[in-house]
């Protein structure tokens, strides 16, 4: 089995692809993969770090406003289709999968023109422009949120879930919190705004920390590397005295930490939600306002609807709101348990298996 995978731009497109590749290799150790991305994209660093064969094409996204750069974008798109066809002919894949980001538009479209079976995977509740474009050309479309189905041809859609969920579903409780000088036995809140952090969440935490250090529960806060120095410098004196609040720039072993906390406050990216529902962690979600089509709000609403999460709008988040929201849930174990059970029901823990099945079927 030979598979070309393409996706890039954000971790939300890349990590599900990598999770799927790992799971397929477990099922079929002889399977061959080629990942196609861009030279300067995030995928270039991440995928190469996983020792997966990697090739690049040159392409860029459209500007949403009138811009002369869109003329160059059209030129690069047409050129990249030619480049992608060459890569596809050389590798001779049995199937091509796109996981999102403009780079996969050329690769999947080129595969379609060469009559190679194709599939795309949409992680969010509202599809991005690339997957909307590709929907008419591919054989199958995997989705993670039921709401996404309305944007695609009905006969092509299959609910697969996000492969990252299957990757983390087996993680058990451990003493990982000791790495952060926190007790594994104490109720714990994890607050983070993504790998780069989130300005609004950071500001609310700074405003709230004086109250938080006196709580019976403990807090692990990941500020994001970009914001860490500023946050720590402002709070250094307070944090030296605190025993229940720890601030770090980034958490590399995030999935293991997720399995050992009682509540999460964070953004509503699709991959993050796949991870927390696979484990069953209650959430307070603060959707980013700076994403296309406000898709994080739609992602979050899907969990709120079933009782697995609460939403606080980005513009409404203050230190006072943060403390009040935390207290309401951390002092109500019964509600936390109900939210956890609801979260687990939403989790799809065999997403890679489902995608593998669909890929093999369209090859036949």
- Which segments are annotated as binding site? 10-12, 124, 195, 251, 296
CB-count burial class (<10 Å; 0-12, 13-18, 19+) for 129? middle
Tell me how far apart the alpha carbons of residues 207 and 56 are, in angstroms, rounded to a whole number.
Answer: 45
CB-count burial class (<10 Å; 0-12, 13-18, 19+) for 92? exposed
Buried b (16+ CB within 10 A) or exposed e, 286-316: bbbeebeeebbbbbbbbbbeebbbbbbebee
DSSP string, 244-306: SEEEES--TTHHHHHTT-SEEEE---HHHHHHHHHHT--EEE---SSSGGGHHHHHHHHHHTT
Tell me how far apart the alpha carbons of residues 304 and 306 are, in angstroms, rounded to a whole number.
Answer: 5
Task: Give residue 328's Cα distance to chain centre.
Answer: 27
Q: Looking at the DSSP assignment, which residues form a beta bridge with residue 285?
A: 266, 311
Residue 195 tokens, joined: 């790998």
Binding-site residues for UDP-N-acetyl-alpha-D-glucosamine sit at 10-12, 124, 195, 251, 296
Tell me how far apart the alpha carbons of residues 225 and 199 are, in angstroms, rounded to a whole number.
Answer: 12
Tell me how far apart the alpha carbons of residues 150 and 306 are, in angstroms, rounded to a whole number.
Answer: 19
């Amino acid at each position: 089995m030979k598979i070309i995978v393409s996706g890039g731009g954000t971790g939300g497109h890349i990590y599900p692809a990598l999770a799927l590749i790992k799971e397929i290799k477990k099922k079929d150790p002889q399977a061959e993969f080629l990942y196609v991305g861009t030279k300067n994209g995030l995928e270039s660093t991440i995928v190469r770090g996983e020792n997966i064969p990697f090739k690049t094409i040159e392409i860029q996204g459209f500007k949403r406003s009138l811009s002369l750069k869109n003329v160059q974008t059209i030129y690069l798109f047409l050129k990249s289709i030619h480049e992608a066809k060459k890569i596809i002919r050389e590798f001779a894949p049995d199937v091509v999968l796109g996981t999102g980001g403009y780079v996969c538009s050329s690769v999947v479209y080129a595969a379609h023109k060469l009559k190679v079976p194709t599939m795309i995977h949409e992680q969010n509740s509202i599809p991005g422009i690339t997957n909307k474009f590709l929907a008419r050309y591919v054989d199958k479309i995997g989705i993670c949120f039921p709401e996404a189905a309305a944007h695609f041809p009905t006969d092509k859609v299959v609910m697969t879930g996000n492969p990252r969920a299957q990757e983390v579903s087996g993680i058990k409780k451990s003493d990982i919190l000791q790495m952060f000088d926190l007790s594994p036995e104490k109720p714990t809140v994890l607050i983070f705004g993504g790998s780069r952090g989130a300005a609004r969440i950071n500001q609310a935490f700074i405003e709230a920390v004086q109250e938080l250090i006196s709580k019976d529960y403990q807090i692990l806060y990941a500020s994001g590397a970009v914001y860490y120095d500023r946050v720590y410098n402002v709070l250094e004196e307070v944090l030296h005295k605190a025993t229940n609040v720890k601030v770090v720039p980034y958490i590399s072993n995030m999935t293991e930490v997720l399995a050992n906390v009682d509540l999460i406050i964070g953004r509503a990216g699709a991959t993050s939600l796949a991870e927390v529902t696979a484990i069953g962690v209650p959430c307070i979600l603060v959707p980013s306002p700076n994403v296309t089509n406000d898709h994080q709000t739609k992602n979050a609403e899907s969990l709120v609807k079933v009782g697995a999460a609460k939403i606080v709008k980005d513009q409404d988040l203050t230190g006072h709101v943060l403390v009040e929201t935390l207290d309401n849930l951390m002092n109500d174990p019964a509600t936390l348990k109900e939210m956890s059970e609801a979260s687990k029901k939403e989790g799809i823990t065999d997403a890679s298996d489902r995608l593998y099945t669909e890929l093999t079927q369209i090859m036949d």
